[in-house]
Amino acid sequence: MSTTGYTCAAGRAAARSCAVVLAGALAGCAVAMPGDAAAVTRPVSSQPALSAPAAILIQPSTGDIVFQRRAAARRSIASTTKLMTALLTLERRALSDRITAVPYAAAAAESVAGLRAGEQMTTADMLRALLLTSANDAAAAIAVDIGGSRRAFVRLMNERARRAGLRDTHFANPIGLDDAANYSSAADLAKLALLVRAQPFAREIVDRSRAVLRSGSRVRVVVNRNTLIGAVPWMTGVKTGHTRRAGYVLVGSSSRRGVEFVSVVMGAPSEAVRNADTLKLMAYGFGRYHRAAPLLSGTLRPLYPGRVVATVGVKHADGGESGLGVVPARTVRVVVRRGEHAVATPVGLPREVEGPLPARSQLGTLVVRRRGIVVDRVPLVTEKGLARASWLDRHRWLTSAPALLLACLVAAASLGRARGRRRARGRREARSNIA
């Protein structure tokens, strides 16, 4: 948990000092400043040299563990405990519900929102206080509101951890106070962060530098204790923590050019080292993964926007319209390791179509696979419209060679029959004249 109380004024002072610390952290690791796009995405051949004793980096789209160091080791987790408190709140309360603050005797070093017993605040604002300024009094209020008591809420936390498969996690309180029974691992915290980030409201909260809480008895401004948010454009979350037992902990997330990562750094000796280690992990990930067009199956061609993936025959086509191109309905991009490719295969296309057919009519599906697993399905649509065939086009078979030969034979037969009838008539007339 955080060790410094955050009033609005104190938050501004801390933010200014953290900017100085951040500059040192960036300079101390082999990571470019945020504006240097090339350096952040440059391939990194060696694993990052971290100071933290436990860490992990996960690429969510692929599920890859990109880096890990003692990721299953059970350690104190401080206020990253509040990720589970937040998850249960998001799953069990509407954002517009009102939660009543309970009496909370905070120690001098604790982070609080200054809630008064009996004061009511919306779930949304309680979560902002919980996740941004790491307010312990907000966590206490949530626990009683949802669980009926703190002890009952902790049982819910541990039940949810079991359902999520967090085998190296156990909670003793909803706040993150030091307790031998309150622990997790880097791997489990990453999984928990993914569950929280699956909630749109949570993603929005943890990617903000500050928020204004208006639903309580007075307006409050809370500042995000994650100083990387706002300072580094591609950092998007998630939660900090610090106690004497846990050291400095940061569950981080990032997103750049469609590639996301979730990191965990545990037990760092200082906030500056924690931030630097997190940025090293992210730079390592961005150097190894990118979002790329898949290759069209059976070819070595990347599937760039607008590229025709197949041609469908056109029924009753005239000489200039023998086929109709189909294209993906949207841009197709897949997160892959550098040097790796996804493969796109058209399926369900008819052999031929007949007009009228509007432009962008769906004719099939593009199935995209990464490592043999389907990761996307994209409609395949016509590149342009197809007009209704004219009467001549629909009956063009009449002008084909077999049809002409048949017509000639029929005409010859008819002509022969007509001549025969004339000869017969001539013979009858001749006999009649003789008689």
Protein fold of 8-291: Beta-lactamase (3.40.710)
The predicted structure's pLDDT at residue 423: 75
The arithmetic mean of pLDDT across residues 33-42, rounded, is 46
Q: How many angstroms separate the Cα of 83 from the Cα of each of 72, 89, 380? A: 18, 10, 41
Six-digit token pair at 118?
């009996």
Rounded CA separation 350/178 (Å): 65
Architecture field, domain 295-389: Sandwich (2.60)
The predicted structure's pLDDT at residue 130: 98
H helices within 68-209, ranges in order?
A: 82-92, 123-131, 136-147, 150-163, 186-197, 200-206
Q: pLDDT confidence of 33, banded at 50, 70, 90?
A: very low
Q: pLDDT confidence of 43, banded at 50, 70, 90?
A: low
Percent of the chain with pLDDT over 70: 82
Six-digit token pair at 115?
């809630």
Q: According to CATH, where is 2.60.410.10 located in the chain?
A: 295-389
The predicted structure's pLDDT at residue 398: 52
Question: Residue 376, SS3?
Answer: strand
Each residue of 347-388: pLDDT tens digit? 999 999 988 899 999 999 999 999 999 999 999 999 998 877
Q: What is the DSSP letter of 42?
A: S
Percent of the chain with pLDDT over 90: 72
The predicted structure's pLDDT at residue 17: 43
Strands 289-292 and 259-268, how do they pair?
unpaired
The arithmetic mean of pLDDT across residues 38-67, rounded, is 85
The arithmetic mean of pLDDT across residues 70-85, rounded, is 98
Higher pLDDT, 109 or 151: 151
Q: Which residue has the tokens 């789209």?
A: 61
The predicted structure's pLDDT at residue 34: 40
The predicted structure's pLDDT at residue 268: 98
CB 360 within 8 A of CB 379: no
Rounded CA separation 83/240 (Å): 10
Higher pLDDT, 1 or 183: 183
Q: Kindly report the CA angle at 62 between 29 and 258, in degrees rounded to 5?
A: 65
pLDDT at position 308 over 60: yes
CB 326 within 8 A of CB 383: yes
Strands 295-296 and 343-347, how do they pair?
parallel
Q: How many angstroms separate the Cα of 125 from the Cα of each of 82, 89, 109, 378, 417? A: 15, 12, 22, 39, 99
The predicted structure's pLDDT at residue 318: 59
Range among 10-19, 20-29, 87-96, 403-412 with highest mean pLDDT value = 87-96
The predicted structure's pLDDT at residue 433: 63
Largest Cα–Cα separation, the chain? 145
Q: According to CATH, where is 3.40.710.10 located in the chain?
A: 8-291
> What is the amino acid identity at position 429?
E
pLDDT at position 135 over 50: yes
Each residue of 199-222: pLDDT tens digit? 999 999 999 999 999 999 999 999
Q: What is the DSSP letter of 9?
A: H
The predicted structure's pLDDT at residue 282: 98
Predicted TM-score of the model (pTM) = 0.81
Rounded CA separation 319/226 (Å): 66
Rounded CA separation 3/112 (Å): 10
